Amino acid sequence: MENAVDTRTDGPENRQYLGLRDGISARISAGDLKPGDKLPSERQLQSEFGLARGTIREALFLLEAEGAIFRRDRSGWYVSPPPVVYDPTRWEGFMSYVEAQGRVPATHTIRTETLPADPLLSEVFSRPLGAPLHHIRRLRSVDGRAVLVEKLIVDAAITPDLLDFDLNTSLTAILKRKFGITVARNQISMQPCALTGNEAVDLKQKSGLPGLALQRVSYDGHGRVVEYDHEYWRHDAVQINVDLRVR
Amino acid sequence: MENAVDTRTDGPENRQYLGLRDGISARISAGDLKPGDKLPSERQLQSEFGLARGTIREALFLLEAEGAIFRRDRSGWYVSPPPVVYDPTRWEGFMSYVEAQGRVPATHTIRTETLPADPLLSEVFSRPLGAPLHHIRRLRSVDGRAVLVEKLIVDAAITPDLLDFDLNTSLTAILKRKFGITVARNQISMQPCALTGNEAVDLKQKSGLPGLALQRVSYDGHGRVVEYDHEYWRHDAVQINVDLRVR
DNA sequence: TAGTCATCATGGTCTAGACCAATTGCAGAT
DNA sequence: ATCTGCAATTGGTCTAGACCATGATGACTA
pLDDT in tens, B165-219: 999 998 989 999 999 999 999 999 999 999 999 999 999 999 999 999 999 999 9
Nearest CB neighbour to B188, from listed A183, A187, A244: A244
Q: Which nucleotide is nearest to A206 (CA to C1')?
A: C12
Candidates B53, B226, B246, B247, partner chain A, best to mutate (most A CBs within 10 A): B246
Q: How far is residue A88's CA from residue A102's CA, in Å, rounded to a whole number?
A: 19
Beta carbons of B244 and A187 less than 8 Å apart: yes
Taking phi over 0 as left and psi of -120 to 50 as alpha, with beta for the rest, A10 belongs to left
Under a CB-based contact definition with an 8 Å cutoff, are residues B81 and B142 in contact? yes
Give residue B135's pLDDT: 98
Q: Which nucleotide is nearest to A14 (CA to C1')?
A: D13
Q: How far is residue B190's CA from residue B240's CA, in Å, rounded to a whole number?
A: 11
CB proximity A215 to B under 8 Å: no
Ranges under pLDDT 50 in chain B: 1-12
For A147, the enclosing helix (H) or strand (E) is: strand A145-155
Residues in chain B with CB shorter than 8 Å from the CB of A236 are 192
Residue with nearest Cα to nucleotide C11 C1': A74
Do B37 and B143 lie in one domain? The reply is no
Do A94 and A52 lie in one domain? The reply is no
Q: What is the CATH number of the domain that holds A35?
A: 1.10.10.10
Tens digits of per-residue pLDDT, A85-139?
998 877 778 999 999 999 999 999 999 999 999 999 999 999 999 999 999 999 9
Do B53 and B122 lie in one domain? The reply is no
Do B148 and B219 lie in one domain? The reply is yes
Strand C nucleotides, any atom under 7 Å from protein beta carbons: they are: 9-18, 21-24
Give residue B45's pLDDT: 97
Give the residue from B79, B106, B130 where a domain finishes. B79
Task: Say whether the CB atom of A77 is under 7 angstroms from strand C.
Answer: yes
Q: Which nucleotide is nearest to B56 (CA to C1')?
A: C14
Q: How far is residue B198's CA from residue A71's CA, in Å, rounded to a whole number?
A: 27
Q: How far is residue A26's CA from residue A5's CA, in Å, rounded to a whole number?
A: 9
In sign, the C-alpha dihedral spanning B225, B226, B232, B237 is negative
Chain A: residue whose CA lies nearest to B193: A66
Give residue A93's pLDDT: 84
Under a CB-based contact definition with an 8 Å cutoff, are residues A62 and B194 in contact? yes
- At residue A142, what is the residue type? V
Q: What percent of chain A has pLDDT over 90?
A: 87
The distance of Cα B134 from the centroid of its chain, to the nearest Å, equals: 22
Alpha helices in B1-75 (DSSP H): 16-30, 42-49, 53-65
Q: Is residue B7 part of a domain?
A: no
Q: Is residue A9 part of a domain?
A: no
Give residue B13's pLDDT: 57
Q: Is residue B8 part of a domain?
A: no
Nearest CB neighbour to B193, from listed A67, A208, A209: A67
SS3 B145: strand
Of B37, B44, B31, give the one whose Cα is nearest residue B78: B37
Do A179 and A232 lie in one domain? The reply is yes
**From the CA atom positions of chain B, what is the Rg in Å?**
22
Do A25 and A126 lie in one domain? The reply is no
Task: Say whether the CB atom of B74 is under 7 angstroms from strand C.
Answer: yes
Of residues 52 to 71 in chain A, which lie within 7 A of strand D by their beta carbon?
52-55, 58
Do A106 and A199 lie in one domain? The reply is yes
Ranges under pLDDT 70 in chain A: 1-14
Q: What is the CATH number of the domain that holds A89?
A: 3.40.1410.10
Give residue A245's pLDDT: 86
In chain A, the number of structural domains is 2
User: What b-and-e string marks burial along B121-149, b requiring 16 or more CB atoms within 10 Å of the CB?
Assistant: bbeebebeeeeebbbbbbbbbbeebbbbb
Do B39 and B119 lie in one domain? The reply is no
In sign, the C-alpha dihedral spanning A49, A55, A56, A62 is negative
CB proximity A65 to B under 8 Å: yes
Q: How far is residue A124's CA from residue A229's CA, in Å, rounded to a whole number?
A: 11
What is the distance in angstroms between the CA of the first residue and the CA of the last residue of chain B? 54
Give residue B247's pLDDT: 73
Q: Is residue B57 part of a domain?
A: yes
Could you list the residue range(s) of the whole structural domain that residue B207 is in? 84-240
Q: How far is residue A159's CA from residue A110's CA, in Å, rounded to a whole number?
A: 20
The integer distance in angstroms from the CA atom of B70 to the C1' atom of C15 is 26
Task: Say whether the CB atom of B48 is under 7 angstroms from strand D.
Answer: no
